[in-house]
């Protein structure tokens, strides 16, 4: 029995060791393609439109508590998604695009985005996590990085300060968590289905679509108005849609 137990322990340690090596190799590869996780401590905040009443889907404002998590510092880039396609055999996005590098990836649907995040050991962010990270948590900023509409163009890339294309990530100022492009450049897929915020004590009301296919996107993109880059602004689209204005930013649990 002693020998059997020893053998079992050895096998477990070996498996764990290999798992650790695989994780280390993945982290090393991600570093070479400019991928960085940022830890967010989480906490309580008021979710929704506390400023205006111009987006009824962002009402009612309601208290939320977010557990600690990781989120990627930048939107996923073409370089990072290219790396993913070489590992998985998926098709390149915009193969004719020459100056790829740090340009944010787009034209990927919800399932593509989910697959990428899971491949790197993460997942799509929840809507609570995304808004918490974008708005600075308890600071509850209107735009990612500022409450001032005049200063917002320093932090967000939208229709009035952009070209008709996706830009490289990190060309605007970061928000208080050091996250870039939480407003504009490309909108970002969220892990959940689109639903109305419920009134206190009321069950959520789902959009009546087959298989609840309407997904959430947040942050606005290069062709969006400035108002859509506000941290509380919600948009929804079908999960199968792939457009030049939607990309992805990943999140990860903190164990």
pLDDT, residue 207, reads 59
The structure's pTM equals 0.88
pLDDT, residue 37, reads 97
Q: Where are the domains of the chain?
A: 1-32, 37-253
CB within 8 Å of 141: residues ≥ 6 apart: 135, 147, 175, 176, 231
pLDDT, residue 231, reads 98
Length of the chain: 255
pLDDT, residue 16, reads 38
Q: What residue ranges in the chain does DSSP mark as E strands?
A: 37-40, 43-47, 62-66, 69-72, 187-193, 214-218, 234-238, 246-247, 251-253
Which residue, 218, 212, 126, is CA-closest to 181?
Answer: 218
> Can you name the residues that pair with 218 across neighbouring β-strands?
188, 234
Beta-strand relationship, 43-47 and 251-253: unpaired
CATH number (3.40.50.720, 3.90.1580.10, 3.40.1390.10, 2.30.29.30) of 37-253 reads: 3.90.1580.10
For the chain of 255 residues, list the mean pLDDT of each consecutive stretch of 10: 40 41 84 95 94 85 94 98 96 89 95 98 97 96 97 96 92 98 98 85 63 87 96 94 96 92
pLDDT, residue 3, reads 43
Cα 201 to Cα 206: distance, rounded to the nearest angstrom: 16
Per DSSP, the three-state class of 247 is: strand
């Amino acid at each position: 029995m002693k020998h059997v137990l020893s053998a079992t322990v050895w096998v477990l340690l070996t498996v764990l060791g290999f798992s650790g090596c695989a994780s280390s190799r993945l982290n090393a590869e991600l570093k070479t393609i400019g991928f960085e996780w940022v830890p967010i401590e989480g906490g309580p905040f008021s979710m929704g439109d506390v400023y205006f009443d111009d987006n009824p889907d962002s009402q009612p404002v309601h208290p939320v508590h977010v557990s600690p998590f990781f989120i990627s510092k930048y939107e996923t880039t073409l370089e990072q998604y290219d790396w993913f396609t070489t590992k998985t055999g998926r098709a390149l996005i915009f193969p004719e695009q020459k100056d790829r590098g740090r340009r944010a990836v787009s034209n990927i649907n919800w399932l593509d985005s989910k697959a990428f995040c899971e491949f790197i050991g993460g997942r799509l962010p929840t809507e609570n996590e995304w808004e918490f990270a974008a708005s600075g948590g308890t600071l509850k900023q209107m735009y990612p990085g500022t409450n001032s509409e005049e200063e917002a163009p320093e932090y967000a890339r939208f229709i009035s300060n952009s070209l008709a294309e996706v830009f490289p990530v990190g060309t605007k100022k970061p928000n208080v968590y050091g996250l870039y492009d939480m407003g504009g450049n490309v909108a970002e897929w969220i892990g959940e289905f689109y639903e109305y915020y419920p009134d206190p004590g009321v069950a959520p009301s789902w959009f009546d679509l087959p298989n609840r296919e309407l997904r959430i996107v947040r942050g606005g993109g290069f062709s969006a108005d400035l108002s859509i880059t506000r941290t509380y602004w919600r948009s929804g689209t079908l999960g199968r849609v792939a457009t030049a204005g939607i990309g992805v930013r990943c999140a990860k649990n903190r164990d």
